[in-house]
Amino acid sequence: MTKIYTKTGDKGKTSLFDGTRVSKFHLRVETYGTIDELNSVLGVVAAQLQNQESTSPAGRQGFKIQEVAEELLVVQKDLLDIGSRLANPKASVEEAFAIYLEQRIIVFEKVIDMETAQLPELMQFILPGGSAAGAFLHVARTIARRAERRIVELAEQETVDGVLIKYLNRLSDLLFTMSRFVNFWEKKKETIWTAFEK
């Protein structure tokens, strides 16, 4: 039986894919660790969406809740691919994968446009919340932004393909739109932010 624990990290060090031993707070570890955190939260969202009805609450044709779950599953697979490349300092994003990510970004933009077309126009800032799935999508959005910041920081120190930054940037936009879409689907009213006034 293969054991899940190796004890090799008990002193605060871990191995990158190329065998290099680094501190567990190394920026590269923090970067792909944040990607993993994002992936886990998306798993929570997917679990929340499993039992949703397939018909639109407004009785309209268009993007459906199951398609949100399906798209998130593809995103989860993307994130594992991205994380594996970030875990290897000697690996670059090969041309085929870079092209794939560019195509995924186009998909994100199409999904954003399709979902936005079904939503009330957003004129003000809203507070994160709503249904469990909608709220977790807001959490995922903020983690995606943090992952993006970590990749940008890493790119200032080491060579990182710019398509990874672009992917995370557009993904956070997608997750924000999905949070609104899921809350709309579940008939959860958006809470408008009201600025503090003296």
pLDDT confidence of residue 62: 63
Return d(Cα 174, Cα 161) in angstroms, integer.
21
Return d(Cα 180, Cα 137) in angstroms, integer.
9
Is a pLDDT exceeding 80 seen at residue 32?
yes
Q: What is the pLDDT of residues 68-100, one digit of tens each?
A: 999 999 999 999 999 988 887 776 778 899 999
Given a contact cutoff of 8 angstroms between Cβ atoms, the answer to whether 169 and 152 are in contact is no
pLDDT confidence of residue 21: 57
Cα 140 from chain centre: 6
Q: What is the pLDDT of residues 96-153, one digit of tens each?
A: 999 999 999 999 999 999 999 999 898 889 899 999 999 999 999 999 999 999 999 9
Return d(Cα 10, Cα 7) in angstroms, integer.
5
Is a pLDDT exceeding 80 seen at residue 57?
no
Task: Report residue 15's pLDDT band, with 50, 70 and 90 as the boundaries.
Answer: low
Given a contact cutoff of 8 angstroms between Cβ atoms, the answer to whether 117 and 60 are in contact is no
Kindly report the average pLDDT of the chain as a whole number: 86
Is a pLDDT exceeding 80 seen at residue 59?
no
Return d(Cα 177, Cα 183) in angstroms, integer.
10
Q: Which two tokens stand for residue 58?
A: 């407004």
What's the topology of domain 17-51+62-185?
A: Hypothetical Protein Ta1238; Chain: A; (1.20.1200)
Return d(Cα 168, Cα 197) in angstroms, integer.
35
Written as one letter, the residue type at 122 is L
